[in-house]
């Protein structure tokens, strides 16, 4: 084929790629934490019983389930600053987008987990005089949380993969660093392939540990 | 601070751009959906097979395409793959390869799980009357399994349609990209990206409604079958 592979360019520029990797982790974990918390607030509000709240939150969840993340990101980065007059940098736009979008999914995970607990559990607790708070804390939540763990980890995994959209608005995540490097050094094959392999390695490892964590939590909660 | 006024009227003469973009989005979505529904059968059956020459490559394929971000895959097919094969890659093709193969990895898992959920007794009964493997698959197993797979497929289809928007980053003329070009030309990102968001919702929401309808249909049907 005559193509001369040159992987040394990747190793010579490890520091840039490393910074990109840190960028990915920053966006990923910050969004994950905020989304998990926001999703919880939304789920609780939804269960509060007020009709207008549950309807509007359902609409919120549906909207973010349908909307492509990148379209949302462009709106947050390009349109929102104009609508609000705020200045929004790439990092904030990416975190805001990922947080809001994932919060919709997490709210669904929480709701589905709690609603999957059979009525008899509620009735049993009530019949021996437990208050709602005691019921939740001692009967419902321990069982519900166990059921929530697989979809929660699945969603977190997807979120980490979603951090790559930040590259489209020039935030220095791993993919962006790879693209910048490729355009400077004219070695897209080696650079992007190795970065792809790196994502593969990291995510496969994460997936492996998440499975183990799921099994441990499952056993512990039995 | 610049005073802003919403002005959607300015976009009216450009309805053609939006339409053009929406059509490309639909084209991309339809192609990747059909490709992955068909390709998934092949890969899913390979994964299900006990033959390690089929099972191992299929497993590697699925793991690679599920454990890397789809955006990285698209970018790889657009920038890296051409260097490997020495052929120029058009954005449209790269997007289809990236999103299509990604979706195939997911649909293959849906097929595999669906096939595995069919009671072993069905296989044994087919063997007992002398049915060969492929015929058993085609006439006994798949028809039952596919009904169970439909909700997962509907979900995947929605995810696939959303993923086509990523192609805008490699200059494919789908809806988001048309919006980008227009925003650069008219300096009205607020109205434009809002319209783009609405259009994506209009394009994709019917898929979600269809999937809810399907789920309801399947749930009532289940009372009739075994």
CATH of the domain at A163: 1.10.3720.10
- The pTM score is 0.89
Task: Tell me, yes or no, whether A197 lies in a domain.
Answer: no
Please tell me the distance in Å from A159's CA to the nearest CA on chain B. 10
Task: Tell me, yes or no, whether A211 lies in a domain.
Answer: no
Is the CB of A79 less than 8 angstroms away from the CB of B63? no
Q: How far apart are CA A177 and CA A18, in angstroms?
A: 9
Task: Tell me, yes or no, whether A182 lies in a domain.
Answer: no
Take residue B222 and report the two structure tokens written for it.
């289940």
Please tell me the distance in Å from B74's CA to the nearest CA on chain A. 11
Residue of A17, A58, A62, A74 to mutate when probing chain B, most B C-beta within 10 A: A74
Is the CB of A199 less than 8 angstroms away from the CB of B69? yes
Measured CB to CB, residues of chain B less than 8 Å from chain A are 1-2, 4, 63-64, 67-73, 75-76, 79-80, 83-84, 86, 158, 162-166, 168-169, 176, 179-180, 183, 189-190, 192-194, 196-197, 200-201, 204-205, 208
Task: Tell me, yes or no, whether A152 lies in a domain.
Answer: yes
Is the CB of A70 less than 8 angstroms away from the CB of B166? yes
DSSP assignment of chain B? -------GGGGGGGHHHHHHHHHHHHHHHHHHHHHHHHHHHHHHHHHH-S-HHHHHHHHHHHHHHHSS-HHHHHHIIIIIHHHHHTS---HHHHHHHHHHHHHHHHHHHHHHHHHHTS-HHHHHHHHHTT--HHHHIIIIIHHHHHHHHHHHHHHHHHHHHHHGGGGGGGT--SHHHHHHHHHHHHS-HHHHHHHHHHHHHHHHHHHHHHHHHHHHHHHHHTTT--
Is the CB of A74 less than 8 angstroms away from the CB of B176? yes
Take residue A174 and report the two structure tokens written for it.
């791993």
Task: Tell me, yes or no, whether A214 lies in a domain.
Answer: no
Q: How far apart are CA A151 and CA B153, in angstroms?
A: 17
Is the CB of B193 less than 8 angstroms away from the CB of A71? yes
pLDDT for the residue A1: 43
Q: How far apart are CA B217 and CA B206, in angstroms?
A: 16
Task: Tell me, yes or no, whether A129 lies in a domain.
Answer: yes
Q: How far apart are CA A131 and CA A104, in angstroms?
A: 29
pLDDT for the residue B224: 46
pLDDT for the residue B1: 43
Residues of chain A found within 8 Å of residue B71, distances taken between Cβ atoms: 164-165, 167, 175
Token pair 């195939």 is found at B104
Please tell me the distance in Å from B26's CA to the nearest CA on chain A. 14
Residues of chain B found within 8 Å of residue A179, distances taken between Cβ atoms: 75, 79
Q: How far apart are CA A77 and CA B189, in angstroms?
A: 10
Task: Tell me, yes or no, whether A57 lies in a domain.
Answer: yes
Residue A43, CB half-sphere, CA atoms under 13 Å: how many?
A: 21
Residue of A2, A71, A75 to mutate when probing chain B, most B C-beta within 10 A: A71
Q: Determine the distance from the C-alpha atom of residue A171 to the mean position of all C-alpha atoms in its chain, rounded to a whole number.
A: 17
Task: Tell me, yes or no, whether A194 lies in a domain.
Answer: no
Nearest in space to B170 (alpha carbons), one of A191, A167, A153, A57: A167
Residues of chain B found within 8 Å of residue A196, distances taken between Cβ atoms: 68, 72-73, 76, 80
Give Cβ neighbours of residue A75 (< 8 Å, ≥ 6 apart).
Answer: B193, B194, B196, B197
Please tell me the distance in Å from B109's CA to the nearest CA on chain A. 15
Residues of chain B found within 8 Å of residue A1, distances taken between Cβ atoms: 86
Per-residue pLDDT of chain A (222 residues; tens, 9 = 90+): 457 788 888 888 889 999 999 999 999 999 999 999 999 999 988 888 788 888 999 999 999 999 999 999 999 999 999 888 889 999 999 999 999 999 999 999 999 888 888 888 888 888 888 888 888 788 888 888 888 888 999 999 999 999 999 999 999 999 999 999 999 888 899 999 999 999 999 999 998 988 888 888 777 665
Complete domains list, chain B, with CATH:
14-221 (1.10.3720.10)
Structural domain boundaries, residue A43: 23-174
Residue of B32, B69, B190 to mutate when probing chain A, most A C-beta within 10 A: B69
Residue A96, CB half-sphere, CA atoms under 13 Å: how many?
A: 14
Take residue B52 and report the two structure tokens written for it.
């390690």
Q: What's the structural domain count of chain A?
A: 1
Residues of chain B with pLDDT under 70: 1-5, 220-226
Residues of chain A found within 8 Å of residue B74, distances taken between Cβ atoms: none
pLDDT for the residue B226: 47
Q: How far apart are CA B131 and CA A142, in angstroms?
A: 49
Give Cβ neighbours of residue B139 (< 8 Å, ≥ 6 apart).
Answer: B131
Chain B residue with the nearest C-alpha to that of A208: B67
pLDDT for the residue B220: 66
């Amino acid at each position: 084929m005559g193509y001369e592979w040159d992987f040394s360019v990747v190793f010579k520029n490890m520091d840039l790629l490393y910074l990109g990797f840190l960028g990915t982790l920053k966006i990923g974990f910050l969004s994950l934490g905020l989304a998990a918390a926001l999703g919880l607030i939304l789920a609780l509000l939804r269960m509060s019983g007020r009709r207008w709240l549950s309807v509007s939150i359902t609409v919120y969840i549906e909207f973010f389930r349908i909307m492509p993340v990148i379209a949302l990101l462009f709106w947050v980065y390009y349109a929102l600053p104009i609508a609000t007059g705020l200045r929004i940098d790439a990092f904030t736009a990416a975190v805001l987008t990922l947080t809001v979008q994932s919060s919709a999914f997490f709210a669904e995970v929480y709701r589905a987990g709690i609603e999957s607990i059979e009525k008899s559990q509620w009735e049993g607790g009530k019949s021996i005089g437990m208050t709602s708070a005691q019921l939740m804390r001692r009967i419902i939540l321990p069982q519900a949380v166990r059921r929530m763990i697989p979809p929660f980890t699945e969603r977190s995994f997807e979120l980490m993969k979603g951090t790559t959209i930040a590259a489209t608005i020039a935030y220095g995540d791993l993919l962006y660093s790879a693209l910048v490097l490729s355009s400077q050094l004219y070695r897209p094959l080696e650079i992007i392939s190795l970065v792809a392999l790196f994502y593969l390695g990291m995510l496969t490892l994460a997936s492996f540990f998440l499975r183990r964590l799921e099994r441990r939590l499952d056993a512990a909660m039995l | 601070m610049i005073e802003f006024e919403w002005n959607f009227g300015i976009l009216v003469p450009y309805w053609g751009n939006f339409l053009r973009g929406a059509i490309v989005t639909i084209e991309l979505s339809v192609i990747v959906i059909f490709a992955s529904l068909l390709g998934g059968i092949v890969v899913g059956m390979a994964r299900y097979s006990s033959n390690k020459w089929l099972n191992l490559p299929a497993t590697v394929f699925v793991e690679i395409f599920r454990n890397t971000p789809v955006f990285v895959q698209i970018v790889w097919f657009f920038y890296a793959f051409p260097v490997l094969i020495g052929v120029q890659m058009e954005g449209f093709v790269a997007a289809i390869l990236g999103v299509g193969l990604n979706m195939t990895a997911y649909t293959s898992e849906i097929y595999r799980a669906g096939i595995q959920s069919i009671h072993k007794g069905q296989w044994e009964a087919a063997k007992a009357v002398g049915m060969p493997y492929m015929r058993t698959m085609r006439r006994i197993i798949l028809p039952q399994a596919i009904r169970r797979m439909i909700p997962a497929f509907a979900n995947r289809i929605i995810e696939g349609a959303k993923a086509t928007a990523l192609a805008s980053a490699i200059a494919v003329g789908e809806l988001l990209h048309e919006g980008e070009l227009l925003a650069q030309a008219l300096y009205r990102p607020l109205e434009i990206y809002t319209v783009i968001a609405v259009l994506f919702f209009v394009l994709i929401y019917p898929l979600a409604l269809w999937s809810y309808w399907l789920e309801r249909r399947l749930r009532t049907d289940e009372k009739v079958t075994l």
